[in-house]
Structure 1
Amino acid sequence: MRKNQIWLIIVGLTITIISAIYLKAPLAEQEGFLAEIEVDSTFFQLPTLYYGYPIDSFDIVEGKVRWNQNLSEILSAFNISFQDIHTLAQNAREVYDVRKLKAGASYAIIHNRDSLRTARQFIFEPSPTEYVVYNLVDTIYAERQQKPVEVKERTLAAEINSSLYNSLMDLGASPILVHRMVDVFAWQVDFFRIAKGDKFKLVFEEETVDGEVVGIRNIKGAYFEHWGKSYYAIPFETEEKLDFFDEEGNSLRKTLLKAPLDYTRISSRFSLKRFHPVQKRYKAHLGTDYAAPTGTPIRTVGDGVVLEARYHGGNGNYVKIKHNSNYTTQYLHMSKIERGIRPGTTVKQGQTIGYVGSTGLANGPHLCYRFWKNGRQVDALKVDIPSSGGIDSTQIANFKVVSDSIRNVLDQINFETQEKLLAKIPTQSEDSPTQ
């Protein structure tokens, strides 16, 4: 065998051995020769990451913020000086103010593995979808990070035995989903008069983080059967705004009038602290005052049912109307209530329900107009009133294609084969929607 051939064999074997060491794998059998290389398995081991930080050489303490607990109290046990905590609070203010740590929120501390247990990072979760890292090593700073959100399409269907709220809770859904459903069908379904046997179907997108449900992204289609009548909700984007329509392209939402009368001026706006002109003290004014001459007709801003029509204390003569499951309005200080307006009466948008006056606690003729949305009094001037328009004729063909597709999906959902959801979205309130 020539010297150059021997040299080539030696070089080839050398390359093969080096490759095997690098790949932590045994040599392949070549020309009857089999060899196995022992390699330290820890040499190529990837570090364990926690919120993106390697922690193999450190320890972790996890906990939840207690009521009235501050950052100084948490970090004082981890060899962090008050001066460093003050510096951290100053440097992190624009990222997340450490003075606003929320009770019950999760946190973690990565600290040295020694007797001092000096903290290196303090990690706080202000919400299920994000976390803030406060770095305590070398440069003191804070950075806010988003957790990856996974979106899953889900379906739900059920026959209602008591209420929509209970039916969705029985399926493991969230109160947030209840409110979204109520908002979609607010004008078609009286959720305070749900009949046993009413049914619903729903296709929606669910957001999860670390396997836990954190939000509802989109309702992709819905069906509700109420008192024997069927309603479809088809989402469709018009003029860069997503809204819901029936299968023919008619809007599911009805609009409300911006104001309940032709007024001269607004004399007082919605305020949580206003000086009362009669009582001479500061108190909340949860309405909008329209100054107008006595006898000016007051009209209801939308279709609805009269809840109350009477005289009472500071309100004077007033009328209260429920428009749907979301909206209720009230009209105070009337000189008189229109004939025929009484509890249970159905009224139409623009119908006169009374006349401007100064009854009750009022120092002049005006209408105090109050507005409830989802059971809370809100500023009527800041409510985003939905449009009641239908699909434009130029878009109706595209809408029909979308509508047929969504209806086909909804029609194939079986009421009897629905699985329960595994998790509910954490919320501050578990109450069902009330008016």
Structure 2
Amino acid sequence: MELKQPSLKSAKNNRKLKFFLGLVLVLILYGFFRWFDFFGENASVLEDIPASQEILKEPEEKIVNYTVAEGDIPAEVFSAQGGWDANDTAALLLAAKDVYDFTHIKIGQNLRFYFNQEEERAKCLEYDRNTESLIIVERNGDDFSAREEKIAYEVSRKIVSATINNFFYMDALEAGISEPTVLAISDILSFDIDFMTEIRQGDQFTVIYEKRARGGKEAPDGKILGAKFINDGTTHYAYYFDNDGQGGYYDVEGRVLERQFLKAPLSYRYISSGFTGARYHPITRTVSAHYQIDYAAAIGTPVVATARGTVVSAGWEGGWGRMIRLRHNNGYATHYGHLSAFAKGVRSGVSVNQGQVIGYVGSTGWSTGPHLDYGMKLNGSPVNPLKLELPKGAPLSADKMEEFEKVKDEFAGFWE
């Protein structure tokens, strides 16, 4: 039988295969010795690391958000949301008594409870007192501490201009301004413009205000920095200026916009009876003097003090129904009649601020419908509030005017 010699091509293939297998074997042996050297040299090092030097992760923090709802009882909220028992709540109330009374948490306000993952009792509570400040309560074991801090916002400026087509409130909302800022604009300029009766179609306004965010989310607007309002051809300006820590609004001449009295004590529908020496009384059916203004408004409409003053009386006065009488500086006095209720804390001897809510529109006493009877006297004699001419506010001092002019210059380009 004849034997065949392997071909040249077949021999070459066998040599390649042997070479490849040898290379793989070398790599495997190299890797094995490297692995052995590493663990042999470093095993003792790894074993010598004390447990106290191990890097430990901080326990993750859990946050429970809760919005106060109608009917909530604070102790039950603290228990259900924060894991605090009756003793914890008592300790919290005692620690916070000089900072905030937590028995009066407000509907709609936010509570944030912070926990360590392994604990069932919250270590911290944050409560938004209002749009500007929050109360922070911290627990250390069974002890509690409380403090108040300003809310930290990210602040930018926003500029809005618009023309009055219907009425200011609606047109400002349609221009993208929030309701609180719309009301703030009208309050600032209310000493020069009656936004209920004097606004005209074609009036124009520009407002510059703080747009705020918190944690990347939209937050309530900040203060108004400047405003320009052209009303029936007359231009009014308002500039925010910090006068030695007393922030306020000033006109183009550097005079404070605030006057002693507001133009009206409420937002009203219309004036149902004016200031007159002879009016037919719908109850007594007689003609008599009516030295006050009747503002028709819905029951429950807030009524504010038109000037700083002291409550002389707050009670029932026969035909006036529920009545508040205030005494002001410079011999002035005002009264607010036919109220449905008094604001909390309004009583004889209490001081009130201009614009502070003191009561609510009603129809008590001799009244044929819901309205506010608003009267004013100067040194005991009746004065028509609608014709009261008050001087402009006090001007800034000469040394402050230079700073104020810089504020005006900063906004000058926005008014064009």
2:384 match: none
Q: 1:67 aligns with which of 66, 70, 86?
A: 70
- For residues 167-182 of structure 1, the aligned pairs below 5 Å read 167-182=171-186
Q: Name the CA shift for 1:383/1:62 in 2 (closer, same or farther; >3 Å).
A: closer
* TM-score normalised by L of structure 1: 0.49
CA distance in 2, matches of 1:83, 1:203: 49
2:218 match: 212
Query: Is residue 318 from structure 1 mapped to residue 290 from structure 2 by the alignment?
Result: yes
Q: Name the CA shift for 1:83/1:171 in 2 (closer, same or farther; >3 Å).
A: same
Query: What percentage of aligned pairs have identical amino acids?
Result: 20
1:370 match: 335
Amino acid at match of 2:415: D
- For residues 77-92 of structure 1, the aligned pairs below 5 Å read 77=80, 80-92=84-96
* Paired residues of 1:128 and 1:209 also in contact (CA < 8 A): no
1:18 match: none
CA distance in 2, matches of 1:87, 1:199: 56
Q: 2:120 aligns with which of 102, 117, 120?
A: 117
Q: Name the CA shift for 1:305/1:396 in 2 (closer, same or farther; >3 Å).
A: farther
CA distance in 2, matches of 1:166, 1:227: 18
- For residues 253-264 of structure 1, the aligned pairs below 5 Å read none
Q: 1:230 aligns with which of 235, 239, 242?
A: 235
2:159 match: 155
More helix by proportion, 1 or 2?
2
CA distance in 1, matches of 2:130, 2:401: 42
* Paired residues of 2:67 and 2:110 also in contact (CA < 8 A): yes
Q: 1:144 aligns with which of 139, 142, 147?
A: 147
Q: Name the CA shift for 1:196/1:71 in 2 (closer, same or farther; >3 Å).
A: same
TM superposition shift of 1:306: 8.0
Q: Name the CA shift for 1:124/1:245 in 2 (closer, same or farther; >3 Å).
A: closer
* Paired residues of 1:64 and 1:105 also in contact (CA < 8 A): yes
* Paired residues of 1:107 and 1:125 also in contact (CA < 8 A): yes
TM superposition shift of 1:238: 7.2
Q: Name the CA shift for 1:102/1:305 in 2 (closer, same or farther; >3 Å).
A: closer
CA distance in 2, matches of 1:183, 1:117: 48
Query: Is residue 183 from structure 1 mapped to residue 168 from structure 2 by the alignment?
Result: no
Q: Name the CA shift for 1:195/1:106 in 2 (closer, same or farther; >3 Å).
A: same
Q: Name the CA shift for 1:251/1:100 in 2 (closer, same or farther; >3 Å).
A: closer
Structure 1: runs of 5 or more not aligned: 1-42, 48-54, 258-285, 287-303, 330-358, 413-435
TM superposition shift of 1:159: 0.8
Q: Higher Cα Rg: structure 1 or 2? A: 2
Structure 2: runs of 5 or more not aligned: 1-53, 266-270, 296-303, 308-317, 322-331, 356-389
* Paired residues of 1:306 and 1:319 also in contact (CA < 8 A): no
1:200 match: 205
| Equivalent residue pairs, number | 279
* TM-score normalised by L of structure 2: 0.51
Query: Which deviates more from structure 2 when the two are superposed, residues 118-127 or residues 63-72?
Result: 118-127
CA distance in 2, matches of 1:251, 1:75: 46
CA distance in 2, matches of 1:86, 1:93: 11
Query: Is residue 93 from structure 1 mapped to residue 100 from structure 2 by the alignment?
Result: no
Q: Name the CA shift for 1:140/1:200 in 2 (closer, same or farther; >3 Å).
A: same
**CA deviation vs aligned residue, 1:43-74 (integer Å, no higher than 9, x gap):** 88985xxxxxxx51x53332222323224323
**CA deviation vs aligned residue, 1:120-178 (integer Å, no higher than 9, x gap):** 33443333444334344414203224232333322111011112111221233233322
TM superposition shift of 1:199: 0.6
Query: Is residue 107 from structure 1 mapped to residue 111 from structure 2 by the alignment?
Result: yes
Amino acid at match of 1:101: I
What is the root-mean-square deviation in Å for CA atoms of aligned residues?
5.0
Amino acid at match of 1:229: T
* Paired residues of 2:305 and 2:353 also in contact (CA < 8 A): no
CA distance in 2, matches of 1:243, 1:97: 30
Query: Is residue 134 from structure 1 mapped to residue 137 from structure 2 by the alignment?
Result: yes
* Paired residues of 2:209 and 2:221 also in contact (CA < 8 A): no
Amino acid at match of 1:191: F
TM superposition shift of 1:200: 0.3
Could you say what secondary structure the match of 1:127 adopts? coil
Whose RCO is larger (CA < 8 A, sep 6+)?
A: 1
CA distance in 1, matches of 2:412, 2:55: 53
CA distance in 1, matches of 2:74, 2:397: 60
